[in-house]
Structure 1
Amino acid sequence: MKLDILAFGSHPDDVELGCGATIAKEISLGKKVGIVDLTRGELGTRGTAEIRDKEAEKSAKILGVAVRENLEFADGFFVNDKKHQLEIIRMIRKYRPDIVLCNSVDDRHIDHGKGSKLVSDSCFLSGLIKIDTKFDGDDEWQDSWRPKYVYHYIQWKSVVPDFVVDVTGFMDKKMEAIQAYASQFYDPASKEPETPITSKNFLDSLEYRARDLGRLVGVSYAEGFTVERMVAVNTLSNLM
């Protein structure tokens, strides 16, 4: 299956938090989108890996993504090395996305920055024809494939975006997908320990950040992204 967009997250829920509304909008426009989680989030203070597996599946159905996979890297301890790069290269070559979305380049959680660099490096390496990959049990070698664009969504830190996407009309879908992770976010009835992301303020911040980015460009809601290389447009009229 060829995908238009493949979104990577270090943990289940990273993608929804960072660019869930953008994904919902792209799917509504007929684009095929997939999600690959690097870890199962097993070190999270709340819930378990098994609970988060089920929550990720529920969230994927809400967004309507074509596929969701988990590479089961070690939460907190995966590194940017050949072993991990090859696993991501296999995913990129399997789905051949034109666009890859991945974690913020700089963030509070150490896995976010690590995941960002790991995916970015793998996108480049995936285009090298002398790197041979195939899945276990497959007889055929994969063809090389390099995504045209790699964009980084924004997470905990208020990183200044290089561009924003108008997601007006899709915030409700984003919040519904996020709240599928019932073990992770604000729940006044929960008896589990509090974390920086379990407060109502954090949940509210997702909306007011989108509102503020939207305000800056004259729309109701927007999600921001950073780029690694210059973004080009065909004509000036392509800019809002």
Structure 2
Amino acid sequence: MKLDLLVMTVHPDDAELGAGGTIAKYVAEGKFVGIIDLTRGELGTRGTAETRAAEAAEAARILGVAVRENLELRDGFFQNNEESQLVIIKAIRKYQPEIVITNAFDDRHPDHGRASKLVNDALFLAGLRRVETTIDGISQLPFRPRLQLQLIQDKYIQPNILLDVSDYWDIKEQSILAYKTQFNSSNTDDGPQTYISNPEFMEYTRARGREFGRNIQVAYAEGFTSRKIVGVRDIFDLR
């Protein structure tokens, strides 16, 4: 299946937190959208890899994505090396997405920046015909997405692009709260409290969305950065 948009991020829930509204928007518009998680998030303080997998499946259902996969790289210890790059190259060539969104290039969580660099390098290599990969014994053709964007996560980074997701904010929040072991909105269980399980975290997420939205005169927006200068066909499409 060829995808229009692929969100390729390191932990289950990264896609929802950083681009849940964007995913829901383009699914609603009939685009083929997918999510690939690089790891199972097995080092997370709350829950297990198994519960995260079930939660990720529920979040994918809420968002309506065409596909969700997990590459099962080692959470916390994956490296930007040939082995990891080839895993990502195979996935990129399999789905041939027009646009890829990945983790923030710099963030408080070291996995985020490392994953962003890993995906960036693998996307370039995926377009080289002398980098040979196969799936089920069949050679894959080289492919490179036309655009890569990065999320803005915990650390504030000035966005290059703001996308109006006002009509899809509720779906974004539903997809985030599908991770019941991670985002404890009621704070009633006995698990250890974490930075993201605090009920105030969701309000912080809303505040960031409102802040981005205010900059383009809408209720909610999601922000992204680009490693290259982005061109437009018509300046009247800008606001």
Q: TM-score, normalization: structure 2?
A: 0.98
Q: How far off its partner does 1:228 sit? A: 0.2
C-alpha distance in structure 1 between counterparts of 2:97 and 2:90, whole Å: 12
**1:95-116 deviation per Cα after TM superposition (whole angstroms, max 9, x unaligned):** 0000000000001111100110
Q: How far off its partner does 1:238 sit? A: 1.8
C-alpha distance in structure 2 between counterparts of 1:217 and 1:201, whole Å: 25
Residue number in structure 2 paired with 1:126: 126
Secondary structure of 1:54's counterpart equals helix
Secondary structure of 2:228's counterpart equals coil
C-alpha distance in structure 2 between counterparts of 1:163 and 1:73, whole Å: 29
Q: How far off its partner does 1:201 sit? A: 1.6
C-alpha distance in structure 1 between counterparts of 2:10 and 2:167, whole Å: 27
Give 1:172's match in structure 2, choosing from 137, 153, 170: 170
**1:70-91 deviation per Cα after TM superposition (whole angstroms, max 9, x unaligned):** 0111100000000000000000
Q: How far off its partner does 1:46 sit? A: 0.2
Give 2:161's match in structure 1, choosing from 159, 163, 169: 163
C-alpha distance in structure 1 between counterparts of 2:137 and 2:172, whole Å: 39
Identity %: 50
Secondary structure of 2:174's counterpart equals helix
**1:99-155 deviation per Cα after TM superposition (whole angstroms, max 9, x unaligned):** 0000000011111001100011111100000000012xx232000000000000111
Checking the alignment, whether the CA contact within 8 Å between 2:187 and 2:197 is kept in structure 1 is no
1:22 paired with 2:22, answer: yes
Residue number in structure 2 paired with 1:82: 82
1:61 paired with 2:73, answer: no
The one-letter amino acid paired with 1:228 is R
C-alpha distance in structure 1 between counterparts of 2:234 and 2:178, whole Å: 40
Residue number in structure 1 paired with 2:181: 183
Summarize the alignment of residues 38-57 of structure 1 with structure 2, pairs less than 5 Å apart.
Answer: 38-57=38-57
1:218 paired with 2:224, answer: no
1:102 paired with 2:102, answer: yes
C-alpha distance in structure 2 between counterparts of 1:41 and 1:188, whole Å: 21
Secondary structure of 1:169's counterpart equals helix
C-alpha distance in structure 2 between counterparts of 1:55 and 1:235, whole Å: 40
C-alpha distance in structure 2 between counterparts of 1:201 and 1:188, whole Å: 10
Q: How far off its partner does 1:29 sit? A: 0.8
Which ranges of structure 2 fall in alignment gaps of 5 or more residues?
none
The one-letter amino acid paired with 1:168 is S
Q: How far off its partner does 1:202 sit? A: 1.1
| Count of residue pairs the alignment pairs up | 238
C-alpha distance in structure 1 between counterparts of 2:187 and 2:137, whole Å: 52
1:227 paired with 2:215, answer: no
Secondary structure of 2:138's counterpart equals coil
Residue number in structure 2 paired with 1:71: 71
The one-letter amino acid paired with 1:166 is D
**1:134-193 deviation per Cα after TM superposition (whole angstroms, max 9, x unaligned):** 12xx23200000000000011111111011000011000000000000000124111111
Q: TM-score, normalization: structure 1?
A: 0.98
Q: Provide the aligned C-alpha RMSD in A.
A: 0.7
Residue number in structure 2 paired with 1:193: 192
Checking the alignment, whether the CA contact within 8 Å between 2:149 and 2:225 is kept in structure 1 is yes
C-alpha distance in structure 1 between counterparts of 2:172 and 2:180, whole Å: 14
Q: How far off its partner does 1:45 sit? A: 0.2
Q: How far off its partner does 1:27 sit? A: 0.7
Residue number in structure 2 paired with 1:150: 148
Residue number in structure 2 paired with 1:139: 137
Of 175-184 and 191-200, the range deviating more from structure 2: 191-200
C-alpha distance in structure 2 between counterparts of 1:65 and 1:22, whole Å: 11
C-alpha distance in structure 1 between counterparts of 2:147 and 2:187, whole Å: 41
Give every structure 1 segment of 4 or more consecutive aligned residues whose post-TM-superposition deviation is greater than 6 Å: none
